[in-house]
């Protein structure tokens, strides 16, 4: 049977002895050597070397066979270790297997992290009125700005110890100016600083400003009810002459408040210094005494001499001091904030601007029931009829304002941002705010995430605060000082209160953190249904690295009250 024999002979060749093949290879090499590669004088040595090589080769083959017998059959048949090339192949496979094992080990170690990232919640989980956010690592600079970033500038608006007076004699003054400081406490503060600067520009005498009754707060307070007037006048005596009352020679004092002949009107907002020289000073020289109305933001920042800006900082940071009893009560509240747990702790001050008036004036849309939205629409139509019109354009306007970061942050949004920054549940928070729109329901997400949240009414007794309740402005002054003394200050919307505190903390050396959230970026993150918690944390941390009250160079039309870096501060 030729086919069978052919198979047998092929099988015989397939399993022929490797020893014979090796002998054949050896004889070929020996023949090659005998054929003239080595001269006759060295043939005995060559043969001896060949025999030693054969013995070593036999030992290697025995070791290979022993290793092969220890392998599983399928690997032995797959690798075919019957020659040297197969052994080399095995070595290569061993390297590959080791590499694969290394990758598998890395995968096993990384599996929990990958699982966490893949299953990260969309920001925070809401259960009723409670927000649950994952824990966040606390950064080392959680409670203060890095020291290396705060040592390059120092305040330099204060007068020298022995100043030289540069005001003219009383009989050489160009006249008297009088202003009504309108608005809330901080708007009034800015008006007073500007009034001193304008008096200096025109070389006029300033009559002590009157705090005009605010239409919202309905508070009638005199300047001496809030500020130390004696210190104010004494400190500025070498800069501007300030008198407590209208001169006696001006008999009809009521005329100063009512007569249009005694009033300079139509002063543009952020007017330059030369406007007062060209348009206001001639009338003051003529009438000797004039009232300036209105007087809110009536002096610019980058269109006045640097020494005028330094004077405004001198008034704000050194001349305008609250009454001692207000300062003492604020110090007491700050001490209580730091010792609420029985041991010293840093505390955060949060200026939460989410009152009904602010929500209405913003014309932004917020989450709420149909009834709440209908009531807010009616409130806006009543208070701002020209802006409200028929209400049809407000939805698009609200979306645009939110994208541009011009909407107040809700309490729940503030809570999520603070947790992403790394502030733990135990953080002590002082809240400076009016009556929050939506009440306790709106405050619940923030209070549940940060339960150690208090107001001045919870820190002090009714008796302790009774003396300050005579004037709403006094209570606002307490909030201002407690926020100013805090380790971290967080604002949620613009306004004079926030920018004056941020500016003062910068002027004090930039060390205290003043967080100004990027509301435009945050609105995009809150509205992104695919953003996980880890990505949100990364966005929050990176975005706010430079929004913590660090030194910032000024720019045209910059706000002096929020950023007094130049010319009110100097290189250290």
Contacts of residue 253, Cβ cutoff 8 Å, sequence gap at least 6: 246
Q: How far is CA 421 from CA 163, 280, 291, 400, in A?
A: 46, 50, 49, 27
**Residue 483 pLDDT exceeds 50:** yes
Residue 15 has pLDDT above 50, yes or no: no
More confident residue, 353 or 16: 353
pLDDT at residue 46 is higher than 80: no
**80-84, 97-101, 229-233, 338-342, range with the lowest pLDDT:** 80-84
Q: Residue 38 — very low, low, confident or very high, per pLDDT cuts 50/70/90?
A: very low
DSSP designation for 322:
B
Cβ contacts of residue 392 below 8 Å, gap of 6+?
Answer: none
Is the CATH number 3.30.70 carried by domain 130-151+324-354+408-493+511-548? no
- Cβ atoms of residues 557 and 301 within 8 Å: yes
Residue 333 to residue 465: CA distance in whole angstroms: 11
Q: What confidence category does residue 25 fall into, taking pLDDT thresholds of 50, 70 and 90?
A: very low
Of 153, 151, 149, 129, give the one whose Cα is nearest residue 141: 149
pLDDT digits (tens, 9 = 90+) for 118-162: 455 457 766 666 677 776 666 667 898 887 778 889 999 998 766
Round to whole Å and give the CA distance between 553 and 549. Answer: 12
Q: Rounded to a whole number, what is the largest CA-CA distance in the chain? A: 147
**Is the Cβ–Cβ distance between 429 and 337 less than 8 Å?**
no
* pLDDT reported for residue 451: 95
Where are the chain's structural domains?
A: 130-151+324-354+408-493+511-548, 176-319, 356-403
* pLDDT value of residue 151: 83
Q: Looking at the predicted structure, is the pLDDT value of residue 42 above 50?
A: no
20 pLDDT band, cuts 50/70/90, is: very low
Burial of 466 (0-12, 13-18, 19+ CB in 10 A): exposed
| 3-state helix vs strand vs coil in the chain, percent to 5 | 55, 10, 35
Residue 7's pLDDT is 36
pLDDT-derived band at 14 (thresholds 50, 70, 90) equals very low
Structure tokens at 367: 């989450």
Distances (CA, A) of 538 to 137, 273, 476, 542: 12, 46, 36, 6
| b/e burial code for range 147-162 (CB count within 10 A of at least 16 → b) | eeebeebebebebeee
User: Which pLDDT band, with edges at 50, 70 and 90, does 85 fall under?
Assistant: low
530-563 as b/e: b if 16+ CB within 10 A:
ebbbeebbebbeeebeeebbbbeebeeebebbbb
Q: What are φ and ψ of residue 181, in 5° steps?
A: -85, 110
Angle at which helices 394-403 and 519-526 pack, to 10 degrees? 110
What local confidence, expressed as pLDDT, does residue 346 receive? 94
Tell me what percent of the residues of the chain surpass a pLDDT of 70: 77
- Non-local (6+) Cβ contacts of 203 within 8 A are 167, 168, 173, 174
* Cα distances (angstroms) measured from residue 481 to each of 222, 265, 333, 478: 19, 34, 9, 5
d(CA 232, CA 218): 26
pLDDT of residue 67: 54
pLDDT at residue 239 is higher than 80: yes
Assess contact for 423 and 142: CB atoms under 8 A. Answer: yes
- Where does the pLDDT of residue 232 fall: very low under 50, low under 70, confident under 90, or very high at 90 and above? very high
Query: pLDDT band for position 37 (50/70/90)?
Result: very low
The pLDDT of residue 114 is 55
With the C-alpha atoms ordered 535, 536, 542, 545, is the resulting torsion angle positive or negative?
Answer: negative
- Of 310 and 141, the structure prediction assigns the larger pLDDT to 310
Q: What is the pLDDT of residues 104-118, one digit of tens each?
A: 777 777 666 555 544
Please count the other Cβ atoms lying within 10 Å of the Cβ belonging to residue 364. Answer: 20
State the burial class of residue 266 (Cβ atoms within 10 Å of its Cβ: 0-12, 13-18, 19+). Answer: exposed
Q: How far apart are CA 368 and CA 548, in angstroms?
A: 32
| Percentage of the chain modeled with pLDDT above 90 | 48
According to the model, what pLDDT value does residue 97 have?
A: 78
Q: To the nearest whole number, what is the mean pLDDT of the chain?
A: 81
The pLDDT assigned to 53 comes to 56
> Which H or E element spans position 459?
helix 456-459
pLDDT at 18: 39
Q: Higher-confidence residue: 182 or 107?
A: 182
Phi, psi of 205 (to 5 degrees): -95, 135
Q: Where are the alpha helices (DSSP H) in 33-144?
A: 43-70, 73-79, 84-118
CA angle 300, 306, 310 (to 5 degrees): 90
Confidence of residue 26 (pLDDT cuts 50, 70, 90): very low
- Position 89 pLDDT exceeds 60: no
For the stretch 377-430, pLDDT in tens is: 999 999 999 888 887 778 888 888 988 899 999 999 999 999 999 999 999 999
Residue count (the chain): 572
Candidate ranges 53-67, 149-163, 337-351; pick with highest mean pLDDT? 337-351
CA dihedral 164, 169, 174, 180 (to 10 degrees): 70
Q: Which residue is listed with tokens 């070929």?
A: 28
The position carrying tokens 């006696």 is 248
Please report the pLDDT score of residue 528 as a whole number.
83
Closest CA to 402 of 527, 300, 307, 302: 527
Q: How far apart are CA 473 and CA 467, in angstroms?
A: 12
Higher confidence at residue 234 or residue 88?
A: 234
The confidence band for 31, taking pLDDT boundaries of 50, 70 and 90, is: very low
d(CA 82, CA 85): 8
- Tell me how far apart the alpha carbons of residues 248 and 142 are, in angstroms, rounded to a whole number: 57
Quick one: pLDDT at residue 10?
38
State residue 476's pLDDT score.
Answer: 93
Q: Give pLDDT, residue 86.
A: 54
For residue 101, the Cα-to-chain-centroid distance in whole angstroms is 44
Q: Which of 118-127, 259-268, 438-447 has the lowest mean pLDDT?
A: 118-127
pLDDT at 389: 83
């Amino acid at each position: 049977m030729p086919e069978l024999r052919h198979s047998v002979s092929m099988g015989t060749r397939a399993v022929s002895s490797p020893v014979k093949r090796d002998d054949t290879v050896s004889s070929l090499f020996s023949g090659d050597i005998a054929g003239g590669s080595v001269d006759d004088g060295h043939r005995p040595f060559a043969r001896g070397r060949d025999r030693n090589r054969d013995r070593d080769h036999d030992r290697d083959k025995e070791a290979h066979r022993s290793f092969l017998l220890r392998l599983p059959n399928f690997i032995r048949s797959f690798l075919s270790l019957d020659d040297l090339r197969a052994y080399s192949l095995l070595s290569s496979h061993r390297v590959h297997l080791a590499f694969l094992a290394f990758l598998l080990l890395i995968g096993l170690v990384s599996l929990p992290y990958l699982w966490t990232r893949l299953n990260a919640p969309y920001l925070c989980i809401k259960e009723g009125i409670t927000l649950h956010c994952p824990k966040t690592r606390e950064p080392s600079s959680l409670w203060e700005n890095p020291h290396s970033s705060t040592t390059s500038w120092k305040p330099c608006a204060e007068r020298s110890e022995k100043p030289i007076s540069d005001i003219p004699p009383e009989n050489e003054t160009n006249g008297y100016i009088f202003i009504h400081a309108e608005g809330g406490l901080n708007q009034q503060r800015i008006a007073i600083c500007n009034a001193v600067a304008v008096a200096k520009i025109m070389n006029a005498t300033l009559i002590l400003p009157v705090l005009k009754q605010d239409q919202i707060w309905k508070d009638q307070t005199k300047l001496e009810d809030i500020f130390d007037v004696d210190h104010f006048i004494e400190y500025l005596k070498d800069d501007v002459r300030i008198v407590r009352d209208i001169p006696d020679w001006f008999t009809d004092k009521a005329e100063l408040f009512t007569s249009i002949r005694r009033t300079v009107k139509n002063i543009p907002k952020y007017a330059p210094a030369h406007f007062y020289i060209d348009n206001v000073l001639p009338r003051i020289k003529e009438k000797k005494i004039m009232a300036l109305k209105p007087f809110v933001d009536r002096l610019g920042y980058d269109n006045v001499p640097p020494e005028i800006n330094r004077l405004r900082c001198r008034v704000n940071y050194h001349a305008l001091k609250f009454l001692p009893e207000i300062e003492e009560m604020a110090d007491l509240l700050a001490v209580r904030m730091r010792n609420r747990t029985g041991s010293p702790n840093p505390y955060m001050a949060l200026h939460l601007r989410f009152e009904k008036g602010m929500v209405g004036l913003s014309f932004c849309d917020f989450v709420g029931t149909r009834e709440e939205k209908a009531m807010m629409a009616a409130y806006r139509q009543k208070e701002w009829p020209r802006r409200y019109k028929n209400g049809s354009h407000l939805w698009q306007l609200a979306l645009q304002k939110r994208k541009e970061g011009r909407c107040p942050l809700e309490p729940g949004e503030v809570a999520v941002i603070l947790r992403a920054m790394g502030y733990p549940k135990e953080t002590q928070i002082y809240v400076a705010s009016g009556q929050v729109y939506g009440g306790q329901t709106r405050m619940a997400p923030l209070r549940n995430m940060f339960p150690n949240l208090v107001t001045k009414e919870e820190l002090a007794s009714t008796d302790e605060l009774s003396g300050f309740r005579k004037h709403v402005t006094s209570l606002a002054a307490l909030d201002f000082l407690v926020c100013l003394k805090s380790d971290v200050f967080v604002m949620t919307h613009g306004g004079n209160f926030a920018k004056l505190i941020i500016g003062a903390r910068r002027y004090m050396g930039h060390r205290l953190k003043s967080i100004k959230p990027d509301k435009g970026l945050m609105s995009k993150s809150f509205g992104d249904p695919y953003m996980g918690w880890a990505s949100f944390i990364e966005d929050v941390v990176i975005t706010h690295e430079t929004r913590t009250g660090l030194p910032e160079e000024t720019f045209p039309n910059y706000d002096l009250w929020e950023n007094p870096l130049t010319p009110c501060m100097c290189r250290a």
